[in-house]
Amino acid sequence: MKLMGKNALVTGSGQRVGREIALGLAKRGCNLILHYHSSGKEAAETLREIEACGVRAISVQTDLRDQVELKSLFSTVDSSFNRLDILVNSAAIMEKIDFLDVDGDAWYRSMALNLRAPFFCIQEATRQMLPGKGVVINISDVAGLRPWASYPVHSISKAGVEMLTQVAAAAFAPDIRVNGVAPGPVMKPEFLDDDRWNEIGAAVPLQRSGNAGDVSRAVIFLCENDYITGETLAVDGGNKLL
């Protein structure tokens, strides 16, 4: 897919990795729909940076866990841009919790945003993409490829995203390609100190942490390569080899 002039929705694009993905697509000429939930200040700044790229852009506040709000987001996309070409499911949460402490609320928080929302975002997006071509990129996590015992619900939700990617790719081929990107240590979580983050980076085969730009470039690659679908590209410095 040639990206110039295409319309892209990136969920969770107000800050962190989602922001870098949105900026990367804008720099390749995509018009952007920035979705955010609570990071309004950061989303406003990201919107200004994207508009400086000379493309059309809007920001939309939505709680993707709410089905009514999710549908409203896509109604806004349709009324503002008429067509959607690219969906990047980036919005997610990552909660550290002991397996025995997981209750219904903790389960719902992660599953509703990390897995349920991407499923229904794909459903709504493909209705706007068809008939025609389209691309969906799901941002997974290396925790979906290897179990993280300290993040049980997060790991399970991201493993679900891996299967969602494959099921959707099979369901919508050949018109819509669906792929995933599984980041490893590319952006320091707010709760980690610098020393621990450096230790994590040094432990992977490439002996360093990555950055959000590495994920953005992987997303762009999967958007542009028309002969890849149903795959997940790990951007992890070789972490999955350990």
Average pLDDT, the chain: 96
Percent of the chain with pLDDT over 70: 100
Q: Give which of 242, 114, 239 is closest to 184, Cα–Cα.
A: 239
pLDDT at 189 exceeding the cut of 90: no
The pLDDT score that the predictor gives to residue 110 is 97
Percent of the chain with pLDDT over 90: 94
Contact assessment for residue 182 and residue 144, using Cβ atoms and an 8 Å cutoff: yes
By residue range, what is the domain housing residue 21? 7-241
Confidence of residue 242 (pLDDT cuts 50, 70, 90): confident
In a domain, 49, yes or no: yes
Instruction: Tell me the per-residue pLDDT of 83-106, one tens digit each, with 9 for 90 and over.
Output: 999 999 999 999 999 999 999 999
In a domain, 1, yes or no: no
In a domain, 2, yes or no: no
In a domain, 124, yes or no: yes
The pLDDT score that the predictor gives to residue 29 is 98
In a domain, 188, yes or no: yes
pLDDT at 78 exceeding the cut of 90: yes
The pLDDT score that the predictor gives to residue 193 is 87
The pLDDT score that the predictor gives to residue 164 is 98
In a domain, 138, yes or no: yes
- The arithmetic mean of pLDDT across residues 32-37, rounded, is 97
Residues in the chain: 242
Provide the CATH number for the domain around residue 203. Answer: 3.40.50.720
Instruction: Tell me the per-residue pLDDT of 115-161, one tens digit each, with 9 for 90 and over.
Output: 999 999 999 999 999 999 999 999 999 999 989 999 999 999 999 99
In a domain, 192, yes or no: yes
- The arithmetic mean of pLDDT across residues 163-184, rounded, is 98
Report if pTM > 0.85.
Answer: yes
Number of domains the chain is built from: 1
Three-state DSSP state, 8: strand
- The arithmetic mean of pLDDT across residues 5-14, rounded, is 97
Q: Long-range contacts made by residues 164-168, C-beta under 8 angstroms, separation at least 24?
A: 164/115, 164/118, 164/119, 164/122, 164/138, 165/138, 165/140, 165/230, 165/231, 165/232, 166/230, 168/122, 168/136
Two structure tokens written together for 30: 């995509």
Confidence of residue 192 (pLDDT cuts 50, 70, 90): confident
